[in-house]
Amino acid sequence: MEENSVKHILILGKHQYMVENIQTILSKGGYEVRGFDQVETIIEEYQPTQLDMIVFTGAVNPSDFSALISWKNEKFPNALIFEHHGGPATVLGEVQDKFLSAQ
């Protein structure tokens, strides 16, 4: 991650506890993170000027996935998409790798 360039990450997950766990891990890793368990809440409430990545965790409903991708493409076309499956222990390294591979 570049110095003085905090990456902004949005998390969508089916289960709030999973979202909160990943949000905590990524926040400790130096990212600005907001987590949600409902796509409607994101579309209504998330008003940043910057979004660098959306992380999907757990089994997200396919219609929610599509709705959020459409929203992202309209508002933040350069934001990356990362689908995290599995436990939270590896998520920080996987997100860092995704950012590095996109450079």
Residue 13 lies in a domain: yes
Q: For 15-68, how does the pLDDT look when each residue is reduced to its tens digit (9 = 90+)?
A: 889 999 999 999 999 999 999 999 999 988 888 889 999 999 988 889 999 999
With contact defined as beta carbons under 8 Å apart, do 79 and 72 qualify?
Answer: yes
The domain in which residue 79 lies consists of 8-102
Q: Where are the beta strands (DSSP E) in the chain?
A: 8-13, 32-36, 53-57, 80-84
Backbone angles phi and psi of 67, in degrees to 5: -65, -40
Give me the chain's average pLDDT, please.
Answer: 91
Backbone angles phi and psi of 58, in degrees to 5: 75, -170
Between the CA of residue 103 and those of 33, 63, 96, 99, what are the distances in Å?
A: 20, 30, 11, 7
Residue 1 lies in a domain: no
The model's pTM is: 0.90
Number of domains composing the chain: 1
Least confident of 6-10, 32-36, 70-74, 85-89: 85-89
Q: For 78-89, how does the pLDDT look when each residue is reduced to its tens digit (9 = 90+)?
A: 999 999 987 888
Residue 19 lies in a domain: yes
